[in-house]
């Protein structure tokens, strides 16, 4: 009899934690992801703002599991589940269909941007949910400055105006990092241009930034952003987005060639393809033991799952929820194999943080410990280094941060346009004849 097959959909924090928790068990684990790497999402905004290399925040999945022989990897997208046959249907980048049988299934497919059907938002907005997104935003931001340098008349039309929608941690972090990129680096790169004409507008629908944080943290974030020249607009919402302007619900028109969309998230639409029950934000309904009702041996974890919290609400879409629920689902599988009863999942809240810039951050830790300014910033740096996968990545990020801090310089402000390369040209000419 061969070992029970565990399939994990998604190589994010949840999927990796689940696979690692199955180390040494007599199971045959396959991780499926559309990318061949894990992406450290909390630092994507630093790639987008030229602070870190793309490779610093990504680590190949096969590399992570080189020393865990019960884990295999498949680069593919899940397209459907056959619950009777207990198989997943997947499609590779080349268009091949690969069928994966499973005895136990962990759905850890994460989240994606939600545009609330705002006209033009998806078409013209830049989300920050993948490494490719981050590189695209970096290219776009830097190219706006090159365009302004080549054709200064464009500045009046908003080529240097950047609208960030969403006052949560991602929006706050992107806005702060853009301001520091402009002030610290691009003023020196574009000596003959008045970089101070660049404008960053942060738009938040509710009356406060960083909704779940305490009032002092919210105020600290706002004052630090404003100190960096960012226009913070609360109680305002976007009505529509066009390539060169953003229209607010108030009727105000902001000329801007860049819209960063950090306003809403929804579960990976895979949930619909799997034919399972979903709830708010498209998240998969699960019990307190993370099982998907009516789908024996199937679990959902992390952002894609609607995990009930103690207060009756759902747990937030945060990395620690993903990791902890991943380990719990792995534990459930071990208990099921051993014939032991299941246990409910309890989330241990480790707190949340957001960074605005150099020596400016807010952190809200358990036991009512609230930090701001330099202590919060150092805590943020340390924790992010600690959780980065791979010693080489940690070293590289650490050196980049030390370098930037000491020199006020940034490294990889490159506009790398893949469209001109070979792969783009052969978009319509796949290399494999066996479709």
Site residues (CB under 8 A) for a second copy, limited to 182-211 = 188-192
DSSP 112-140: EE--TT-TTHHHHEE--SSHHHHHHHHHH
Binder among 311, 419, 428, 435 for a second copy (CB under 8 A): 419
Angle between helices 374-387 and 391-407 (to 10 degrees): 150
d(CA 103, CA 7): 8
Count the site residues for a second copy by CB under 8 A.
87
Backbone φ, ψ for residue 221 (5° rounding): -60, -45
d(CA 159, CA 199): 10
Q: Is 173 a catalytic residue?
A: yes
Per CB under 8 A, 309 contacts a second copy: no
- Residues with Cβ within 8 Å of residue 188, at least 6 apart in sequence: none
Question: Which one of residues 196, 249, 310, 425 is an interface residue with a second copy (CB under 8 A)?
Answer: 425
- Nearest to a second copy of 94, 275 (CB atom): 94
Residue 128 CA to residue 64 CA, distance in Å, equals: 24
Burial of 419 by CB count in 10 Å (0-12 exposed, 13-18 middle, 19+ buried)?
A: exposed
Please state, in angstroms and rounded to a whole number, the distance separating the CA atoms of residues 410 and 181: 8
Establish if 339 lies at the interface with a second copy (CB under 8 A).
no
- Residue 360: beta bridge partners? 357
Q: Which of 3, 82, 85, 94 binds a second copy (CB under 8 A)?
A: 94
The reply on whether position 48 binds a second copy by CB under 8 A is no
Rounded to a whole number of angstroms, the minimum distance from the CB of residue 119 to a second copy is: 14
Using the minimum distance from each CB to a second copy, give the nearer residue, 135 or 276: 135
DSSP assignment letter at 181: I
Instruction: Map the footprint of a second copy across residues 141-170, applying CB under 8 A.
Output: 142-144, 146-147, 149-151, 153-154, 157, 159
Token output for 394? 């940690």
CB of 243 to a second copy, least distance (A): 5
Site for a second copy in 368-407 (CB under 8 A): 392-393, 395-396, 399, 403
Find the shortest distance in angstroms from Cβ 230 to a second copy.
21
- The Cα 339–Cα 90 span in angstroms is 30
Minimum distance from residue 397 beta carbon to a second copy (Å): 12
Residues 229 to 288 in contact with a second copy, rule: CB under 8 A: 243-244, 257-258
> In whole angstroms, how close is the CB of 346 to a second copy at the nearest point?
36
Using rule CB under 8 A, residue 348 touches a second copy: no
Q: Which of 215, 386, 427, 428 binds a second copy (CB under 8 A)?
A: 427
What are the helix (H) ranges across 257-361? Answer: 270-273, 319-338
Q: Which is nearer to a second copy, 141 or 362 (CB)?
A: 141
Q: How far is the CB of 350 from a second copy (least distance, A)?
A: 29
Task: Say whether residue 421 binds a second copy (CB under 8 A).
Answer: yes
Are residues 400 and 373 in contact, defined by beta-carbon separation less than 8 angstroms?
Answer: no
Q: Which of 92, 90, 110, 91 is nearest to 44 (CA)?
A: 110
Q: Which of 13, 37, 162, 380 binds a second copy (CB under 8 A)?
A: 37
Q: Which of 25, 122, 151, 173 is catalytic?
A: 173
Q: Are 302 and 322 spatial neighbours (Cβ–Cβ below 8 Å)?
A: yes
Closest CA to 101 of 187, 6, 183, 227: 6
d(CA 329, CA 322): 10
Q: Which of 103, 133, 224, 364 binds a second copy (CB under 8 A)?
A: 133
The contact mask relative to a second copy for 52-81 (x = CB under 8 A, - = no) is -xxx--x-x-xx--x--x--xxxxx-----
Q: How far is the CB of 196 from a second copy (least distance, A)?
A: 17
User: Active-site residue numbers?
Assistant: 173
């Amino acid at each position: 009899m061969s070992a029970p097959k565990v399939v994990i959909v998604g190589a994010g924090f949840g999927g990796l934690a689940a696979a690692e928790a199955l180390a040494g068990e007599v199971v045959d684990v396959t991780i499926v992801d559309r990318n061949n790497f894990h992406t450290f999402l909390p630092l994507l905004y630093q790639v987008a703002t030229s602070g870190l290399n793309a490779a610093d925040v990504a680590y190949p999945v096969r590399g992570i599991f080189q020393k865990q022989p019960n884990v295999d990897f498949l680069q593919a997208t899940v397209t459907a589940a056959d619950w009777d046959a207990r198989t997943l249907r997947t499609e590779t980048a080349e268009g091949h269909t690969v069928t994966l049988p499973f005895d136990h299934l962990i759905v850890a497919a994460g989240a994606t941007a939600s545009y609330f059907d705002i006209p033009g938002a998806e078409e013209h907005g830049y989300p920050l949910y993948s490494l490719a997104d981050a590189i695209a935003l970096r290219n776009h931001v830097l190219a706006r400055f090159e365009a302004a340098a080549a054709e200064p008349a464009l500045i009046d039309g908003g080529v240097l105006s950047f609208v960030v929608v969403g006052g949560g941690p991602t929006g706050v972090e992107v806005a702060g990092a853009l301001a520091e990129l402009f002030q610290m680096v691009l003023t020196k790169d574009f000596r003959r241009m008045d970089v101070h004409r660049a404008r960053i507008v942060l738009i938040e629908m509710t009356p406060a930034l960083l909704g779940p944080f305490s009032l002092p943290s919210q105020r600290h974030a706002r004052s630090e952003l404003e100190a960096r020249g960012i226009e913070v607009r609360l109680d305002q919402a976007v009505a529509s987005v066009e390539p060169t302007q953003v229209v607010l619900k108030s009727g105000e028109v902001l000329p801007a060639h860049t819209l960063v969309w950090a306003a809403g998230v929804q579960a990976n639409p895979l949930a619909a393809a799997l034919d399972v029950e979903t709830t708010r934000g498209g998240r998969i309904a699960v019990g307190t033991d993370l099982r998907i009702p009516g789908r024996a041996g199937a679990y959902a974890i992390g952002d894609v799952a609607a995990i009930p919290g103690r207060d009756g609400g759902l747990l937030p879409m945060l990395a620690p929820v993903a990791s902890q629920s991943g380990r719990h689902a792995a534990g459930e599988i071990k208990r099921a194999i051993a014939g032991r009863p299941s246990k409910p999942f309890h989330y241990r809240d480790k707190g949340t943080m957001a960074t605005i810039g150099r020596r400016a951050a807010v952190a809200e830790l358990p036991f009512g410990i609230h930090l701001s300014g330099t202590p919060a910033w150092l805590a943020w740096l340390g924790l992010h280094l600690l959780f980065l996968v791979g010693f080489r990545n940690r070293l590289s990020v650490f050196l980049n941060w030390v370098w930037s801090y000491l020199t006020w310089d940034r490294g990889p402000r490159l506009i790398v346009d893949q469209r001109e390369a070979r792969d783009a040209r052969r978009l319509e000419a796949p290399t494999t004849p066996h479709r």
